Chains A and B, each alone.
Chain A
Amino acid sequence: MFGLSNPQRFMAFTGPLTPVLWGLAAVLLGVGAWLSFTVPADYQQGDTVRIMFVHVPAATLGLGAYAALGVSSFFALVFRHALADAAARAAALPGAAFTALALFTGSLWGQPMWGTWWVWDARLTSVLVLFLFYLGYIALRASIDDEQKAGRAAAVLGLVGLINLPIVKFSVDWWNTLHQPASFLTPGSSGLDPVYLPPFLTMLAAYGMLFAALWLTAIRTEIRRRRVMTLRARLAQEA
Chain B
Amino acid sequence: MVDDAESGDGIVESQRAIDPRLLAILVCPVTKHPLRYDPVRQELISKAARLAYPVRDGVPILTSEAARALDDPPHQV
Bound pair (A, B): no
